[in-house]
Amino acid sequence: MKKSFYGFAIIVLFVGLAACSSKKESAASIAQEWCDLNGKAYKAAEGPEKEAAEAARKKFEDNMESKYKDDKAFMEEIGKEVEKCEDASEGR
C-alpha cells in the first residue's frame, strides 16, 4: 500500500512540475521549427505525405500568428529569423 502511494505521489509531482514549467519561445526557435516543417513539406513526395506536411506547417503558422498577433516587433523578428533558414529548408 505504501509503495503504490509513493509511486502515485512521485507521478503527481512530475506532472505538476511539467505543468508549472513554462517553455519560453524565442524568435529563433520558432523560426527553426517553421523551417523544419517547411523542409518536410518541400521534400515530401506529392500526395498524402506532402498534404500532411503542408497542413502541419499551416497549422503551426496559424497558431503562431494567433499567439503573437499583438506583438508586431516579435513577429518581425521571427520573419528575419525565417529568412535566414528558409533557403536551406528548401535545399537552395
Domain count, the chain: 1
Residue 5 covered by a domain:
no
Tell me the pLDDT of the chain averaged across its residues: 79
The pLDDT score that the predictor gives to residue 57 is 92
Q: Are 62 and 72 in contact (CB under 8 A)?
A: no
Assess if residue 65 is contained within a domain: yes
- Quote the domain boundaries for residue 54: 24-89
Indicate whether 38 belongs to any domain: yes
CA torsion through residues 43, 46, 80, 66, sign: negative
Domain-located, residue 68: yes
pTM for the structure as a whole: 0.68
The Cα 44–Cα 51 span in angstroms is 9
49 found inside a domain: yes
The mean pLDDT value for 1-5 works out to: 50
Residue 30 is assigned to a structural domain of this protein: yes
Mean pLDDT along residues 26-30: 92
